[in-house]
Amino acid sequence: MLCLTLKHKNIVLAKVNLIENGPLVVVVEMTITHEDRTTDVKDTRASFCRCGKSENMPFCNGAHKGEL
């Protein structure tokens, strides 16, 4: 697996993981600040198909594993 971390001023903007024989996974961390100044940190991720077999392009649906 290859992992690339994108940073700006020591803040992680996104992580990109290239999984061997699998998808390209992008993970982004978001900090949400509420009116009362409390914060929540949420991760969001997307897995992108690299094999061309997904029926949900451009997203991976696991078809590369032969399960679908």
> pLDDT for 29-52, tens place per residue?
888 899 999 999 888 999 999 999
pLDDT attached to residue 68: 47
List the beta bridge partners of residue 22. none
What mean pLDDT do residues 1-9 have? 78
Side-chain-side CA neighbours of 26 within 13 Å: the count stands at: 10
pLDDT tier for residue 2 given thresholds of 50, 70 and 90 = confident
What mean pLDDT do residues 2-16 have? 80
Q: Which of 1, 58, 50 is nearest to 23 (CA)?
A: 50
- Residue bearing tokens 């992008």: 26
- Residue bearing tokens 């392009």: 57
